[in-house]
Amino acid sequence: MKNKFNQKLIHLIEYYSLINSNILVSEKGFRSKKIENNFKTGNNKELDLKKLKKSIEKIDDHQIKPNAKNIVFGDGNTNAKLMIIGEAPGAQEDLLGIPFVGRAGKLLDKMLAAIKLSRKSVYITNVINYRPPENRKPSEDEINEYLPYLIKHIQIIDPKVILLLGSTALNAILGSEKVISKARGVWHRELIGENEFWILASFHPAFLMRQPDQKKFAWVDLKMIKEKLKLN
């Protein structure tokens, strides 16, 4: 019992020393508009990402991790100007340990190609790094558990633009009061740590597969991304 307590204490110390943050959370459980984070990243992104991944693997999560096969951390160009954040891994992502490789991922690839981008030119991750049981939506407590690590992830990649796909990513970063149908297509300028980021929300590719008539709105959002990144 003493050893288990000590391990728990050590994990908590590592958690707070890694994040070293004061994250403002809304009344409903998600963070409010402003995030304050004093974490200082190093000059080696790859090393910082390895440390972050190890820290996520140590999360004491009894709801999601026991049912998952692999951690799904991130994929793409670590120096990308565009960082894409989804909800959580699905079955294919869980199997391969790579985000957005299933049907929704294939649609995302096509969406990126439409504005002359590819997986090699962007960086992709999720709010939750493990597949929830039966692909259910993550709970508020689960999102808040993983949120400090997502904030750290953003700080390390340090993109120019962040694209939030779906309501879970939207609510985690911009607040639980936001509704994707109203929040999409609008630029948000948010302070995360010491840097400000341009943030745009759009529909998740999985939603677009169920509601193909909404693709016209996603195309508007993609063109906004293209313009912000000055893509030819």
Model confidence pLDDT, tens digit, residues 42-84: 789 999 999 999 999 999 888 899 989 999 999 999 999 999 9
Judged against a pLDDT cut of 70, whether residue 13 lies above it is answered with: no
Please report the pLDDT score of residue 21 as a whole number: 40
pLDDT higher than 80, residue 10: no
CB-based contacts of 15, cutoff 8 Å, min separation 6: 55, 58, 148
Integer Cα distance of 73 and 85 in angstroms:
11
Of 128 and 24, more confident: 128
Banded pLDDT at 41 (limits 50, 70, 90): low
Report the side by side order of strands in the sheet with 195-202. 21-25, 31-37, 188-192, 195-202, 161-165, 82-86, 123-126, 75-76
The pLDDT of residue 176 is 81
Over residues 166-183, mean pLDDT: 93
CA distance readout (Å), 157 to 56, 197, 213: 16, 12, 33
Mean pLDDT value across residues 23-49: 55
pLDDT attached to residue 40: 57
9: pLDDT strictly greater than 70: no
C-alpha–C-alpha distance, residues 126 and 104, integer Å? 13
Contact 221, 113 (CB under 8 A): no
pLDDT bracket for residue 193 (50, 70, 90) = confident
* Bridge partner residues of 190 (DSSP): 197
| Confidence grade of residue 166 (pLDDT, cut at 50, 70, 90) | very high
Amino acid 189: pLDDT = 95
- Give yes or no for residue 85 having a pLDDT over 60: yes
Contact in structure between 132 and 64 (CB atoms under 8 Å): yes
What is the extent of the structural domain holding 159?
A: 2-229
- Among the listed ranges 14-23, 42-51, 165-174, which one has the minimum average pLDDT value? 14-23
CA–CA separation, 191 vs 221, rounded Å? 21
User: Would strands 75-76 and 21-25 be described as parallel, antiparallel, or unpaired?
Assistant: unpaired
With a cut of 70, say whether residue 22 has pLDDT above it: no
> CATH code at 112?
3.40.470.10
Task: Please state the domain count of the chain.
Answer: 1
